[in-house]
Amino acid sequence: MPLVPFTDHMDTATPSPPNPGGAVRINDLAAATKSDRNRAVDFYRAIAMLAVAVGHWLAMVAVAGPDGEIQGGNALEHVAGLAWATWLLQVMPLFFVVGGFASGMSLDAHYRNGGRPQDWIAARLRRMLPPAATLAGTWLVVIAVATMFGAGPLALTAASAAAIPLWFLANYTIDTALAPFMLPRFRRNPGLVAGGLAGAFTLFELLRIVDVPVIPHVNWVIGWLGFQMLGMAWRDGMLPTGRPLLVATAAAWAGALVLVLSNGPWSISMVNFPGMENSPTHPPTLSLWVFGLAYSLTAIAAAPAISEFLARSPIAWQAVIGANAIAMSVYLWHMTAAIVLIGAMHYTIGLPTAAVGTGTWFAAKIPLILASSAVLALIVRKVAPIEQRALVAPRRPWNGSAGSMILAAAVLSTGLKAWTSGGLAMVIGCAVIVAFARTSLSPTAPTPQPVVSPAQSIG
């Protein structure tokens, strides 16, 4: 089988291989898995990346306009019934839960070795940044070249579409930076921390509903942080099991349905699309919070059965390990792959002309998704080594205080958010990401003076 590097991944802890620190085969990693491992965590991370890619490809609308230019859109704008499909494909709450579970494991190991919070945060961000910077740098080059040939606006539009998945990384960056400080406080008083998060979230949600500007956007941080804390609670065994868990899950699903069917300010769709009056994710709303709780509790309830199945099926477990080795590359590049395909079709055989939402339109989606997958596979083959090298790069301490690390994470998060805004802000955001990847957060940049010994870095 193909070689993949050993790593504990950005979001999941990976089993110790026979040859730590080197490149090992997938089946070696599978054989080295501990019997008590929660394999469902790895499965959910892999399946989440697949769901995001397929969901975006399904919803993507691209047609030739009257002037011959490509016009884009989202199928959710045209077919109201598709809103219910987002209840299956909106996996970001679960992804943050999985991230919280893995962060709890990683932080425990880090603190056992005497590590500092800022070193853990830096290690996490150094794994994420090189793949993101590669995408940002690629699009900066595309925009620059296209501008030289008079196609700058088209390139900016394409780059903006390619950045659709990046809003998640902006939130993940800042919540990851908060994790080392939240976890010990949560363990000391879980009720107070959980209640405080819920109360603050509800307050800012009410301010959003009454149209208070700017302030409700604090829920960009609090909303996703709540799911991260749920993952930490899962990892620590704080959640109910058996019948109480099933009752809580059913209550959460009922609550989500009541909210979206109450004629209140909450949409049925759990995914944002252009023209929405009340986006469920920008920032996260109460309906998304309750839906995400129901979705995640369902996954947590199913986790023992999934882990047992993966333990009995070596082939399935190897597939999960292999998928995790390229998960970030798939996530970052899947929209670029679709854009490349659409551009090639537009200038050769032409784009589909069926009306959005018709049977013909849905039928045409099948070959388009297969073709997008093929293009993505070619791209991932080239960019996955960048992701994997970042994952196995030696851990370096952060040459500064915890406060400076939080500030760096906030600037990086802002750059990622700017990338999704389009226009000049997008170009600036891309430049910020590339700059961070080349300097203080580069996995390979030299450090003037070590702050802790190698034994204290994340293992």
pLDDT > 90? residue 26? no
pLDDT tens digits for 169-192? Answer: 899 999 999 999 999 999 999 999
Q: Which amino acid is at 261?
A: L
SS3 347: coil
The DSSP string of 62-130 is: EEE-TTS-EEEEEGGGT-GGGGGGHHHH--HHHHHHHHHHHHHHHHHHHHHTT--HHHHHHHHHHHHHH
pLDDT at 394: 81
Integer Cα distance of 233 and 350 in angstroms: 51
pLDDT > 50? residue 13? no
pLDDT-derived band at 23, boundaries 50, 70, 90: low
pLDDT tens digits for 388-399? Answer: 888 878 888 898
pLDDT at 24: 55
72 or 51, which is more confident: 51
Integer Cα distance of 184 and 197 in angstroms: 15
Domains in the chain: how many in total? 1
Nearest CA-CA partner of 11 in 97, 131, 93, 117: 97
Structural contact between residues 331 and 49, judged by C-beta atoms closer than 8 angstroms = yes
The CA radius of gyration of the chain, in Å to the nearest whole number, is: 22
144, two tokens? 């620059």
* Predicted TM-score (pTM) above 0.75: yes
pLDDT-derived band at 447, boundaries 50, 70, 90: very low
The percentage of the chain sitting over the pLDDT mark of 70, rounded to a whole number, equals 91
pLDDT > 60? residue 7? no
N- to C-terminal Cα distance for the chain? Answer: 26
pLDDT tens digits for 340-375? Answer: 999 999 889 888 888 888 899 999 999 999 999 999
DSSP state letter for 309:
H
Integer Cα distance of 67 and 33 in angstroms: 57
Q: Which amino acid is at 116?
A: R
Integer Cα distance of 223 and 242 in angstroms: 27
Segment 72-81 mean pLDDT: 88
Host domain of residue 329: 3-456
Segment 422-445 mean pLDDT: 84
pLDDT tens digits for 288-313? Answer: 999 999 999 999 999 999 999 999 99
pLDDT > 50? residue 19? no
pLDDT at 233: 97
Question: Mean pLDDT over all residues of the chain?
Answer: 87
pLDDT at 71: 80
pLDDT > 60? residue 149? yes
Integer Cα distance of 215 and 4 in angstroms: 45
pLDDT-derived band at 451, boundaries 50, 70, 90: very low
Segment 426-451 mean pLDDT: 74
12-26, 198-212, 426-440 — most confident range: 198-212
449 or 56, which is more confident: 56
pLDDT-derived band at 14, boundaries 50, 70, 90: very low
User: 364-371: which pairs have CB atoms within 8 A and are 24 or more residues apart?
Assistant: 365/57, 365/58, 368/57, 368/341, 369/54, 369/57, 369/58, 371/341
pLDDT tens digits for 221-249? Answer: 999 999 999 999 999 999 999 999 999 99
pLDDT > 80? residue 15? no
Return the biggest CA–CA distance within the chain: 64
Helix and strand numbers (H, E) in the chain are: 16, 4
Lowest-pLDDT choice from 126-140, 258-272, 431-445: 431-445
pLDDT > 60? residue 84? yes
25 or 15, which is more confident: 25
pLDDT at 11: 41
pLDDT > 50? residue 49? yes
pLDDT at 445: 54
The percentage of the chain sitting over the pLDDT mark of 90, rounded to a whole number, equals 63
Segment 121-130 mean pLDDT: 92
247 or 34, which is more confident: 247
Q: What's the chain's length in residues?
A: 459
236 or 427, which is more confident: 236
